[in-house]
Amino acid sequence: MDLQLSGRVAVVTGASKGIGLAVARTLAEEGAHVVAASRTASAEWPGKVVHVAVDLMDPQAPAEVVARAVEEFGGLDILVNNAGGPPPGVTLPRAGFMTPDDADWGAMFEFNLFSLVRMIRAAVPIMVERGGGSIVNVSSTIARQPGAINVDYGAAKAAVNQVGKAVAEEFGPQGVRVNTVTPGPVLTDWWTKDGGAAEVFAGMVGSDRDSVITEVAPTMMKLTTGRLIHPQEVADAIVLLASPRSGSTTGADFAVDGGSLKEL
C-alpha cells in the first residue's frame, strides 16, 4: 500500500531508539524527509535523516527543531511526538503516590507534556500555512489505567490525551489532524538496559530480569498476546496515522497494547 508519504517533511522526537527510531526509519523508507530530534544520534538511521541534537527539557528546543525542518525542507507536514518516559536521569517504575516529590512531578510533566505542547505550538502554524498536516502523539496505557505505579507518569500521559483531542478539534477545520497512539509495554531499553524496568520489577517481585520480560510482566499487565510489544508494531500504526491514507481520522486514540486494555 502506497502511504503517499514521498516528499513529505516529518519531525520525530525521541528518534534515536525504540519506537522513535522505528518511526524515523519507516518514514524515511516511505520516502519522507525526516528530521530526528534527540539528545544523541543513531547509527541505525538511514543516511538521509537529518539529526537535530536537542534536549526537549529546554523550552527553546521545540522551536529550534521545527525551524530546522523548515530550513532544510521548506516546511512541515508530519509531527510525531514520541519523546517521553522517564526524564533524563530517572529510572522507572516508581511505586507509590507518596514517592515522587514536587521536583519529580515537575520533571515528569516537563518531559512528557510541556515539551509536547511546545512542539505542537511550533508546528501548527507551519502546517496551517501549508494547508494541513498530521500530528501523532505517543501516550501510554497507564494514562487509562491509573494505579500505584508511576502515578506522575500516568497523569502526564493522561494530559497528553486531552491535549491531542483539544488540538484536533480546534485545528481540524484548517487541515491539521491530531491522533494518539497508546502503546502498552514495549520491548525497548527502558525494559532491557542494566538497571531498567525489568530489573526494578524483578527486585519488587523476587524474580529475575529475563523472567520479568518473558513471563512476569505479560502476566501482571494482562497482555492477551502473552508478550511485550515490538517497537515496529507501534511505529506501523503511527506511520499509517501520519499518512494521507488516514485523512478522515482525527481526534482518535489507537491502542497497540497487546490486549491489555479490556474495557469498551
Return the bridge partners of 181, or none: 138, 254
CA distance 214 to 57: 33
Report the 10 Å Cβ neighbour count for 28: 20
CA distance 85 to 152: 11
CA distance 54 to 168: 27
**Which candidate in 45, 111, 153, 190 is catalytic?**
153
Place of cell 509495554: 185
Report the 10 Å Cβ neighbour count for 29: 12
* Per-position DSSP letters for 87-112, written without gaps between them: PTT--S--BSTTSS-HHHHHHHHIII
Asked about 167 being catalytic, the answer comes back as no
**Which residues are annotated as catalytic?**
153
